[in-house]
Structure 1
Amino acid sequence: MTAMTDTHIRIDPKWWSWEGAHGGHVAALALTAVRDRFAGGAHPVRMLTTHYLAPVDESPLHFSGTAPATGRRTATCVFTGHQNGEPVLLGSALFGAGRPGPSHDGHPAPQVPGPQDCVPLELPEELSPFARQLAIRPATDDLPLAGGDKAELTAWIRFLDGRALDAPTAVTLTDVLPPALYARWRTPCPVPTAELTVHLTDALDDGTHEGWALVRIRTEHAGNGWAVDDSAVWSADGRLLALARQSRVVRAQPAAGSVNS
C-alpha cells in the first residue's frame, strides 16, 4: 500500500477534556484528515474506529496511514495519530457507496420534549472544558451526578458556532455527554475512552442537517474497572445519524478537586 502524506494539526484548547483533548473531537479530526486525503468525497463514511493509546496534548498531532484497500463499492483506510514521535491513537475508516436496499429503523428517536421546552445544563468547566462549545439541554429527568436509578442520559445538543451536522460532527456528538454512569453517581471519577467505534447512517448521504441533535448515551455493562457505553445521535426531525459503542476505563480515584453534588 502507498503511504499517506503526513499531515498535522494542533488541537484547539477549547476542546480540552479530563487530561487532554476530547476523544470524540480527536476522532472527528482523524476522520476529516483521512476522508480529505483518501476518499475525496467519492463515498460516504460508514464506520470509524479509534483506539486511544495516550492523551492527546497541545503538541502537533500528526496523522499518517496507508492508501485505502478498495473493493467494488468500499474503501478501508488505516491511520495512526502520533505526537512527539509517539503513537497516541490508531484506527480505521470504512467508506462505501450507497445502493438500493431494504430500510429498517431499529432505533427510533425517543419521545421527549423539544429543545425549546428543556432547561439548559452547564457541565462543570473543570471537568468538561469542551462543553463550553455546546448548548446542552437534558430531555429527561436523568441528570449527571444526580444519583439516579439508571445509567442513561439524553439531551438536545447544538454547537454554538452553528456548524452543520455532518459525519465528523456526528462522531463528536456520540462522545459529548458525560459517561452514562454519571447518571447514577454523585461524585465524578475519570472514565476515559479506550476505544470508540461509530457507525454513520444513510441519513447523512443526503447532505448535512442543521440545528439541534438529540443524543442518548447509556451504559450497557460495567465491571472490573471497565464499562461499555452505547450512544445514538438523531437529527431534530428524528432521523438517526449515528450509532456508537465505546470501551471505557473506570478509574477508582475521584477527579482532583471534585466534590459531592
Structure 2
Amino acid sequence: MKFAELLAAVRQHPQAVTLPAEWAQGRAGYGGLMAALLFEALQAKVGPGQPVRSLAITFVAPAPLQAPISFEVEVLREGKSVVTLLGRAVAEGGTVTLMQASFGAPRESAISVAAEPAVALKPLEQSTALPYIQGVTPEYIRHLDLRWAIGGLPFTNSPGRQMGGWVRLRDEPVAEPVGVAHLLALVDAWPPAVLPHLSKPAPGSTLSWTIEFVQPLVPLGTQDWCRYCATIEHAQDGYGHTSAMLWTAEGALLAMSRQTVTVFG
C-alpha cells in the first residue's frame, strides 16, 4: 500500500487500520508511519484555522503488522487559540504509540525572527543513495528515497556528530500536496544518527520524539526533495540524544525535531 492509501484508511476507519508487512521496521510497523497515521486521526478533530505547532510522541511498544490498530483521540483542552489533544494507537489490548499535540491559530505579534540558513549539502547527483535491499534494509525503505550527503552510512565506523542528506517519498506516481503527516514520515525515515559510529549491525530505534512545525507550511509536493540534517548532542549507556532540521530543497525551514534513541551496540 502507498503512503496516501494508508492515510486515507485512517481517515475512513480509524478504529481498524492494518499495517502491511511492506511498511515494517524490524519486527514492528515503521514509527514514522505510525506517527503520521496518529496525527491524521488527531487533525480530524481540529478546525482548519488551527494548524499544528508541536507534537510529542512516545513509542510505547512495537506496532504490530497485519493486525488491527485503533487510533483514539481525546481533546484535553480547547482554548480561544490553542487546542491540546492526546492520541493513542491501541493494538492487541495495549497502547503502542502516544502523541500529545498542540494546534494553534496565528496571532498578531511584534516578534519576527528568521530561521538560520539551511545546512549546506552535496548536490543531489553526488549524494549516495540508500537502495532498498530485501533482507538487508528495513522494509519501509522501499517507500522512501534517501540520499546521503553528510556523515557516514549506518555501521561504517564513521565518527562524527552530523548525518543527513536528501529525502522524499519513493515512486509516487502522482505529485500530491505534502502535509504534516508526510513530514513526519520524511523526518523519521532516517536511521538514528548514532548508528554510523558502530562497526557492525545492531538494533536501534526511537524512544521518544518531539517535533515542531513552521506554519504556514511552505507548499511542497510528494515528488519534491527535502534537506535533512541530524546532530548528535550526547550519546552514552545505550541512549542517544539528537536534534534535526528538515528544509525544502531551496532551504526554507519546515520542521525542527528532537529524538531520544535506544541503541543495542
- Residue 183 of structure 1 deviates from its aligned partner by 2.1
TM-score between both structures, scaled by the size of structure 1: 0.86
Matched, 1:10 2:10: no
| Aligned mates of 1:124, 1:89 — CA distance in 2 | 28
In structure 1, what residue type is equivalent to 2:185? T
| Residue 78 (structure 2) aligns with | 70
CA offsets, 1:140-172, max 9 Å, x none? 353332222203211101112245432111112
Distance 1:180 1:187 in 2: 15
The CA RMSD over aligned residues, in Å, is 2.1
Range with bigger deviation, 41-50 or 118-127:
118-127
- CA contact 2:192–2:206 (8 Å) conserved in 1: no
Q: Which amino acid aligns with 2:258?
A: R
**SS where residue 66 of structure 1 aligns?**
strand
Q: Distance in 1 between matches of 2:47 and 2:176?
A: 20
Mapped partners of 1:166, 1:209: distance in 2: 9
Match of residue 109 from structure 1:
118
The answer for unaligned runs of 5 or more in structure 2 is 1-12
Structure 2 equivalent of residue 232 of structure 1? 245
Whether the 8 Å CA contact 2:71–2:88 is kept in 1: the answer is: yes
Answering whether residue 52 of structure 2 is matched by residue 39 of structure 1, we say no
Work out the percentage of aligned pairs sharing the same amino acid. 25
Tell me which moved more, 138-147 or 213-222. Answer: 138-147
2:56 to 23, 46, 49: 49
Task: Please show how residues 161-176 of structure 1 align to structure 2 within 5 Å.
Answer: 161=172, 162-176=175-189
**Partner Cα distance (2:140, 2:234) in 1:** 26
CA separation of 1:131 and 1:164: change in aligned 2, threshold 3 A: farther
Deviations 1:166-214 (A, max 9, x none): 211111222111111122222121112111111111251x544550011
Which of 125, 146, 149 lines up with 1:139 in the alignment?
149
Point out where structure 1 has 5 or more consecutive residues left out of the alignment: 253-261
Q: 1:27 aligns with which of 35, 38, 62?
A: 35
Q: CA separation in 2, counterparts of 1:145 and 1:239?
A: 31
**In the comparison of the two structures, how many residue pairs are matched?**
246
What pairs up with 1:78-97 in 2 under 5 angstroms?
78-97=86-105
The 3-state SS of whatever aligns with 1:165 is coil
CA distance in 2, matches of 1:193, 1:112: 25
Moved >6 Å (runs of 4+): none
Distance between the aligned counterparts of 1:164 and 1:215, measured in 2? Answer: 19
Query: Quick check: 136-145 or 27-36, which moved more?
Result: 136-145
CA distance in 1, matches of 2:113, 2:132: 35
Shift of 1:64: 1.2
Per the normalisation by structure 2, the TM-score is 0.84
- How far apart, CA to CA, are the structure 1 residues paired with 2:112 and 2:221? 20
The answer to whether the 8 Å contact 1:191/1:251 transfers is: yes
**Shift, 1:67, TM fit:** 2.5
Output the CA distance in 1 between the equivalents of 2:40 and 2:98. 14
